[in-house]
Amino acid sequence: MRAAVFQGLHRPLAIESLPDPTPRKGEVVVQVGRCGICGSDLHMSEDSAFGKHPGDIFGHEFAGEVIALGKGVERVAPGDRVSVVPLASCGHCPTCLAGEPAWCDRMALQGGGYAEYATSHENQCVLLPKTASIADGAIVEPLAVALHGVMLSGLAPGTGCWCWARGRSGSASPAGRAGWARARSWCRISRAIRRNAR
């Protein structure tokens, strides 16, 4: 497979040919159809605090088609179209079973979307409805961030609010907040998007 591979801090990614991945127990292989470029990916290539190493493959906002299954996989099948949640977790502990994988002791950030194929744990795969495209699946994660912000805000019906955002994902967040807020009749949204000065 071809992949955009991290070469080290402050260096551009390089396109390399790598072996196709093989799923381990509980994993699937996803043929990546779409992957977003997140500001976090840019920060990871510039700061050692993220613990990234040469050879890593970035890309956590991705969706595609399941093409191979590891042993024990039951929730998805080859041919299923999925969005991959970027939080790898065990899937079995109380926090995972409560839908809170970020608090799992084994939580790690998922990458791999900058390649033709990526492995993922079965519990990270969200089946896409027939009405959603693979491109729609690739923006599930940034829109989930926006929904999380709405849920944490405590906004009541009719409350005014202001959303301020920067960048591609930031721009999607107010749009997502506005859509969910209108759908839930939570608030009237005024949106300002600050463009980066160049």
CB-CB neighbours of 131 under 10 Å: 6
Residue 37's CB: how many other CB atoms inside 10 A? Answer: 14
Helices (H), the chain: 39-44, 94-97, 134-138, 140-153, 167-184
2-32: per-residue pLDDT in tens?
Answer: 999 999 999 999 999 999 999 999 999 999 9
How far is the CA of 193 from the CAs of 56, 168, 173, in angstroms? Answer: 32, 10, 10
Tokens found for residue 27: 């994993």
- Is residue 103 over pLDDT 80? yes
Inter-CA distances, 66 with 38, 57, 96, 144, Å: 23, 19, 22, 22
* Listed range (29-33, 70-74, 187-191) with the worst mean pLDDT: 187-191
Going by the DSSP 8-state scheme, the letter that residue 40 receives in this structure is H
Residue 191: what pLDDT? 33
Identify the structural domains of the chain with CATH numbers, from first to last.
2-138 (3.90.180.10), 144-193 (no CATH)
Q: Which residue has the higher pLDDT, 69 or 51?
A: 69
Distance CA 195, CA 166 (A): 6
Per-residue pLDDT, averaged over 87-105, amounts to 88
Q: Is the pLDDT of residue 65 over 90?
A: yes
pLDDT, tens only, 136-159: 999 888 887 777 777 777 766 666
177 pLDDT exceeds 90? no
Check if the beta carbon of residue 18 is closer than 8 Å to that of residue 112. no
Over the chain, what is the mean pLDDT?
82
Per the rule left: phi > 0, alpha: psi between -120 and 50, beta: everything else, 158 is left
Residues 6+ apart with CB under 8 A from 154: none
Q: Which residue has the higher pLDDT, 154 or 108?
A: 108
Q: Which residues contact 94 (CB under 8 A, 6 or more apart)?
A: none
| CA–CA distances in Å: residue 190 to residues 13, 118, 173, 177, 183 | 38, 39, 13, 11, 16
